[in-house]
Structure 1
Amino acid sequence: MPRGTTPTHRTGAASTGRRGRSPVRLPAALTVVALLLSGGLTGCQESFADPDTDTVQLSVFWWGDQQRADRTEQALRRYSARHPKVGFRVTWQGAGGYYDRLATEATGGNAPDLFQIDDDFLTEYAQRRITLDLTDQVKRRRVDLGGLPPGLARAGEVGGRTVAVAAGEATPALAYDKTVLDGLGVAEPRPGMSYQEFVAWAAEVTRRSGGQVAGASDPAAQQMALWLWLRAQGKEFYTDRQLGFGVPDLTRWFEIWRRARSDRATPSATVTQGANSGMVARQLIATGKAVTSFIRSDQLVELQSYTSDELGVVAYPGNPKAQWPQATMYWAGFRGTRYPDIVADVINFLVNDPEAGRILGTDRGFSPNTSVRAVVARTPVERGGRAAAAYESRMSTLFGPAPQAPPRGHARIRELLLRAAQDVQFGRATSAEAAATFVRRANAALAG
């Protein structure tokens, strides 16, 4: 099948999709809100089925590519081998339109028993009572979070209730091309560099290359990069349902990267625009336009596949303690499932079982369970995998406290930041103008 197509399929079919990327959000997802407010979704039909004695078939839905499908289906088959009376009806598709389809099925009362979700919609789906409340399952250790880092274990909480469990962990990372840097005679970026030092370093790389390659990509539009920059200064992206920063803060952030473009530390806005999509294949290391790219640690393997050069990873500029153990995505159950106990048991298996961990590998990020992660680390890994795992291990000793789960409207905030950053990048607005517009629109979105 041609690269980039995103049809939906049942077990055994082929599809493609962006590994680890959040799916495209479409307006149909909002119809869930209206139906929930009008009572359009059925409540949970309590059933305390036993996976060893009751014959059930659970529906499972996720976004991803063929490799993710193969690994996930193999893991689910392993669960069925242990619990022969439990079968699975799987549906998966590429990233585009994932939430559109999930919303459509939820409004019809036919949402999958178990599904993949991410931070952009976790809070909204929980507050609208689409997700299964796992709090009691966690208390009874039917879903055991004891093997997860504390911050990651709490990542699936909304309003003090566990509504999802991390399917993988990753840490923001600055990837760099060691081969190019060695050829230019430039030292590798070091952890703890200030942003001013990093921009000066990147400008030197551009100069040494004769302008053939930029020293850095421009992360002005990347919400996570901004969040870490804010945390390094003692602020948060969100405070409850409001922004945790103001116009002066965002103006300073945009100005860092406007000056970097002026100093040729980063490439032009036109070149940067492709990388703003977040797709690994369009990262500027992959396209040969820059020596560094701001990624997640689990994306290093995919990024490495696009170049024969040797890549390395280091922490973002700024204080590494601004980082925290981050969930790449989550497993969540449907509130209307007939089999809440079995759904919880399957989640527990996917997260905590060493054999499941070996099967799933790092497709959704590093295993959230640190013991399982150690088992997986001993198995053969793809090129770049060991460097990514070593980086994740180093960073785990530096993590700061995890922030609250992003509030409802998080996906919209990401879109608004992208628009504001690109307005500055293309000269359509000054840093202060774009920052003021963003803050006004973001506050309105969060209040809605």
Structure 2
Amino acid sequence: MRADESIGRRKLLKAGGASLATVGLMAAGCGGGSGSGSGGTVTLRHAWWGGEPRAVAIKKCIALFEKKYPKIKIQPEFTDYAAFWEKFQTQAAGGNPPDVFQNAVGFLRKYDKRGVLMDLNSQIKAGNLSLDGFRNGVEANGQVDGKQLGIPVGANTMSLVIDNKIFEKAGIKPEFGWTWDEYFDALQHIKDTQKIAGDTGYFGIMYLYDLYLRQNGKAFFTDTGLGFTEDDLIPWWEDGYKRVKSGVVCDPKKVAQVAPKSALSAGLAASEFTWDNFSVRYAGEGHPNIGLAPIPTVDGKDTGQYLGSLMLSISNKTKYPKEAAQFIDFMVHDPEVGKIMGYDRGILPTDEQYEAYTPSDDQNKAIAAFEEACQKEGVLGKITPHPSGADVAEAAFLRIAGDMSQGKTKVNAAVKQFFNEAKAAFAA
């Protein structure tokens, strides 16, 4: 993922993902959207979300694929994050999803449960799709209950994006192993000396809270639900509310006013937690001096981090599983595809592509250096499993945390509301 869809994602989550879950999904229907062409050719529909730069790059990759496989044609379909999933749910309900589509860990169990996703192990065994050469075991991100439901097209990890100039003026240099106490002391020092909020709003980021839980031997999700209790969440949100009121964390109303521009780029705060490859967003928004800093820890060592990824999946309804698998194999292994895509969807997933692409701009160089540093420090673990309904739970976490931080809901009531909505999402 990168900045263009992160804006759409935030819009969708704030709008309340629970409404999306109400759309009934059925495995019934036939087709798969592919059609036979003349001369024995087949057509595959390939759908993804993202901005125009991603669309341009993927279309270049499609042209290369069609040159190598002249009897397979790819019909592109793309939109922003929110519109993609709204459309996809309708297509899946009608039994006509795209043959190959972009996916993410939060949706694997949800759509497997509804019979939408193909288990790719059959195509791997048939030799149409290879899992060889994936870096740091990231191929496991697409595995659920023994099935291979997605193939990663990139990898990223959580980071703290900082305003280098402000941190330097404040005399703060984050290093691996710093603690949460040291992080919050740094934010207070920035507020006192630089007269700016230290953070844009850490407490509503589900993936960051997951890291904090992992540092404490728990996790946000289990295979079937939440991996923590109300008593775990209460102090996390109480702390966030307290820091908003003290001015250490940016006023959420001001954050909303500058959206879709980030509060960090708008000069409202000095740091923000997000996925490392999202950091290209800030340069695009005109911020001149962005850096990537390590995640704070509880014990001075364990960050709880893991590599997340965007993936490609195949519909169970496709008429052309072999050709769809060959397309995915090409998209994740071909070196020229790596050169074209760069780090648009995260650090390239396979050795062939990673070695073929050398970033030329400072921000992508910084992303590569950050992930290499995380690997060297040995902080990267395995991703936490996500249950069916995880996307709705994530939406609820962000939305309810936002209401709580603005004083619309008391902390205890907000926590109960979140657990009730999450429970309903998992039961859907």
TM-score, reference length from structure 2: 0.89
2:156 touches 2:276 (CA, 8 Å); kept in 1? yes
Q: CA deviation at 1:447?
A: 2.7
Give the whole-Å Cα distance in 2 for the aligned partners of 1:342 and 1:437. Answer: 46
Q: CA deviation at 1:92?
A: 1.2
Give the whole-Å Cα distance in 2 for the aligned partners of 1:128 and 1:199. Answer: 43
Give the whole-Å Cα distance in 1 for the aligned partners of 2:126 and 2:384. Answer: 24
- Out of 353-362 and 120-129, give the one that drifted further: 120-129
* 1:269-348 mapped onto 2 (5 Å cutoff): 269-273=252-256, 282-318=261-297, 319-327=301-309, 329-348=310-329
1:394–1:54 distance in 2 versus 1, CA, 3 Å: farther
Counterpart AA for 1:415? A
Q: CA deviation at 1:185?
A: 3.8
2:261 touches 2:285 (CA, 8 Å); kept in 1? no
| Post-superposition CA distance 1:341-396 (Å, at most 9, x none) | 111111011111111111111111111114422321x253x341111110011112
| Post-superposition CA distance 1:58-94 (Å, at most 9, x none) | 1111111111111001001101111111111111122
Counterpart AA for 1:413? A
Count of matched residue positions in the alignment of Structure 1 and Structure 2: 415
1:88–1:249 distance in 2 versus 1, CA, 3 Å: same
Q: CA deviation at 1:229?
A: 0.6
Q: CA deviation at 1:125?
A: 1.0
Give the whole-Å Cα distance in 1 for the aligned partners of 2:166 and 2:386. Answer: 38
1:205–1:231 distance in 2 versus 1, CA, 3 Å: same
Counterpart AA for 1:428? K
2:21 touches 2:392 (CA, 8 Å); kept in 1? no
Q: CA deviation at 1:443?
A: 2.2
Q: CA deviation at 1:308?
A: 4.5
Give the whole-Å Cα distance in 1 for the aligned partners of 2:105 and 2:188. Answer: 34
* 1:77-226 mapped onto 2 (5 Å cutoff): 77-149=63-135, 151-182=137-168, 184-209=169-194, 211=195, 213-226=196-209
Q: CA deviation at 1:324?
A: 0.9
1:178 touches 1:188 (CA, 8 Å); kept in 2? no
Q: 2:341 aligns with which of 352, 360, 382?
A: 360
1:137 touches 1:344 (CA, 8 Å); kept in 2? yes
Q: 2:51 aligns with which of 61, 65, 85?
A: 65
- Specify every segment of 5 or more residues in structure 2 that has no aligned partner in the other structure, as ranges: none
Q: CA deviation at 1:428?
A: 3.0
- Out of 123-132 and 338-347, give the one that drifted further: 123-132
- In the other structure, the counterpart of 1:13 is none
| Post-superposition CA distance 1:15-73 (Å, at most 9, x none) | x963686484685675452x32xxx23388999x9xxx952121111111111111001
Give the whole-Å Cα distance in 1 for the aligned partners of 2:349 and 2:288. Answer: 29
Give the whole-Å Cα distance in 2 for the aligned partners of 1:46 and 1:429. Answer: 49
Q: Which has the higher helix share?
A: 2
1:347–1:386 distance in 2 versus 1, CA, 3 Å: same
Give the whole-Å Cα distance in 2 for the aligned partners of 1:46 and 1:61. Answer: 13
Give the whole-Å Cα distance in 2 for the aligned partners of 1:133 and 1:231. Answer: 29
Give the whole-Å Cα distance in 2 for the aligned partners of 1:70 and 1:368. Answer: 20
Matched, 1:415 2:395: yes
- Out of 120-129 and 329-338, give the one that drifted further: 120-129
**Kindly, what percent of the aligned residue pairs are identical?**
24
- In the other structure, the counterpart of 2:5 is 18
Matched, 1:41 2:29: yes
1:308–1:427 distance in 2 versus 1, CA, 3 Å: closer
Give the whole-Å Cα distance in 1 for the aligned partners of 2:426 and 2:206. Answer: 16
Give the whole-Å Cα distance in 2 for the aligned partners of 1:274 and 1:352. Answer: 42
Q: Aligned to 1:62, what secondary structure does the other structure show?
A: strand
Matched, 1:236 2:222: no
- In the other structure, the counterpart of 1:12 is none
Give the whole-Å Cα distance in 1 for the aligned partners of 2:255 and 2:160. Answer: 16
- Specify every segment of 5 or more residues in structure 1 that has no aligned partner in the other structure, as ranges: 1-15
| Post-superposition CA distance 1:418-437 (Å, at most 9, x none) | 23312321223333332233
